[in-house]
Amino acid sequence: MISKLAFSLGRNDERPNIELAMQLCEENNAEGIGEIIAGLFNKDRRIANDCIKVLYEIGERKPVLIADYADEFLKLLTSRNNRLVWGSMTALSTIAEIVPDVIYEKRYLLLDALENGSVITVDNCISVMAKLCKVNKSYHKELFPILSEHLKNCRPKEVAQHAARIAICVNKDYSDEFIAVLDERLEYLSSSQKSRLQKLKKNFIENQCLSRVDNNQKIDYHILTITTPRR
């Protein structure tokens, strides 16, 4: 599989990596995916970088195919190669609802990334944490206040996007708090930023529904349709 990576083909674009991801998904090729996982730890950063691209592209299409590798992605959150860091966080965001317990166990890595990570790492870290909140009541109790505090203090240009990522886990107990934070931030936004946040707030209010907790401590949410930038 390494021979099909963009670097191996002498390409400077990501198309070969995307096509490889699509092929592996179509074939449900566990062995091939294992080879790509191994490539993450190749000494040649160009190979490792291509491999992480393939993996999170698989995650966006068939997350179950990479769910068993959550530990590998978590390990790479401390890599010196930032491409692997934010790529691994992107991969984790695609499997967080499949293997939440594995990821939650290493939540200290998420908290460190939220505080110190690059822009893309933080964006995807918020998605990971929101999805953990979404599927488990106890995780929600611990992590949602952290997300709420982040939303109060993140840069103005990040408010709308981060609010959109967090909105998927806001249940009836926290909806008033969430709306209050949005209102508080509106004062400090530009006209275009205000417009985007007001639209999100309107959509949230119109679409929120009562949350119910089942016997497995899982929370049912009305899921908002949110578009986030592809990398």
Farthest CA pair distance, the chain: 53
Q: What is the pLDDT of residues 193-218, one digit of tens each?
A: 999 999 999 888 887 643 433 434 44
Nearest to 37 by CA among 58, 61, 16: 58
Q: What is the pLDDT of residues 157-204, one digit of tens each?
A: 999 999 999 999 998 889 999 999 999 999 889 999 999 999 999 888
pLDDT for 217 equals 45
pLDDT for 219 equals 45
pLDDT for 231 equals 55
Residue with the bigger pLDDT between 170 and 227: it is 170
Residue 222 has pLDDT above 50, yes or no: no
* Token digits of residue 123: 């964006």
Q: What is the pLDDT of residues 6-42, one digit of tens each?
A: 989 999 899 999 999 999 999 999 999 999 999 999 9
Q: What is the pLDDT of residues 105-114, one digit of tens each?
A: 999 999 999 9
* Token digits of residue 76: 């790479």
Nearest to 91 by CA among 20, 142, 40, 136: 40
Phi, psi torsion values for 36, nearest 5 degrees = -70, -40
Is the distance from CB of 4 to CB of 16 less than 8 angstroms?
Answer: yes
Mean pLDDT of the chain: 90
What is the pTM for the complete model shown? 0.87
Q: Which residues contact 73 (CB under 8 A, 6 or more apart)?
A: 88, 89, 91, 92
Is the distance from CB of 68 to CB of 36 less than 8 angstroms?
Answer: no
Please say whether the dihedral angle defined by the alpha carbons of residues 37, 41, 46 and 49, taken in this order, is positive or negative.
Answer: positive
pLDDT for 208 equals 67
pLDDT for 25 equals 97
Residue 50 has pLDDT above 70, yes or no: yes
